[in-house]
Amino acid sequence: MEHLGPGCGASGAPGGRRFGRYLVGDTHVFGTGAADHGQHATVAAADQLLLGARPRPDGTVDQDADLVGFAAAVNGDAGWYQRHGLPLWGVRASPARRARRARPRLVYRSVYTLGRPVRDLPTRGSSHLHDRSGWGRAGRVGSSGPTAGFAALVAASLLVTTAANLSPTLVSALAVQIEEDLGIGEAEIGMTVSAFFFVGMLSSVLTGRMVERIGPAAGLRLAAALAGAVLVATGTLGRSWPALLVFVGVSGLANAWGQPAANLYVARGVSSRRQGLALGIQKSGIPTASLLGGLAIPTVGLTIGWSWAFVLGGLMALGLLMGVPAVDQAPPTVLRDGSRPSPGAGRRPDVPMRLLVAVACSTCLAAMGSMALSTFFVLSSVESGFDEAVAGILLMVGSVVGIASRLGMGASADRASMSPFTMLTAVFAVASLAFVGLSTGSKTMVLVAMPFAFATSLAWPGLFHLATVRANPSAPGAATGITLTGTLAGAVSGPLLFGVLVEATSYGWGWGLAAVTSGAASAVMAVAGRLIDNRSAS
Beta bridge partners of 9: 25
42 and 36 Cβ atoms separated by less than 8 Å: no
474 and 336 Cβ atoms separated by less than 8 Å: yes
pLDDT at residue 7, rounded to an integer: 35
133 and 255 Cβ atoms separated by less than 8 Å: no
pLDDT at residue 135, rounded to an integer: 24
Reported as a single tens digit per residue, the pLDDT across 29-56 is: 333 333 322 222 222 222 222 233 344 4
Q: What is the pTM of this model?
A: 0.56
CA distance to 306, 458, 468, 517, per residue, from 520 (Å) = 37, 18, 20, 5
Sign, CA dihedral 30-31-35-39, equals negative
* One-letter amino acid of 286: I
Domains, the chain, with CATH or none: 17-118 (no CATH), 150-331+353-467+487-537 (1.20.1250.20)
The secondary structure of 469-522, three-state, reads HHHCCCCHHHHHHHHHHHHHHHHHHHHHHHHHHHHHCCHHHHHHHHHHHHHHHH
pLDDT at residue 515, rounded to an integer: 94
pLDDT at residue 285, rounded to an integer: 64
Average pLDDT score over residue span 487-504:
85
d(CA 346, CA 475): 5
Sign, CA dihedral 52-55-59-65, equals negative
pLDDT at residue 49, rounded to an integer: 29
* pLDDT value at 404 more than 60: yes
With bands split at pLDDT 50, 70 and 90, how would you rate the model's confidence at 364?
Answer: very high
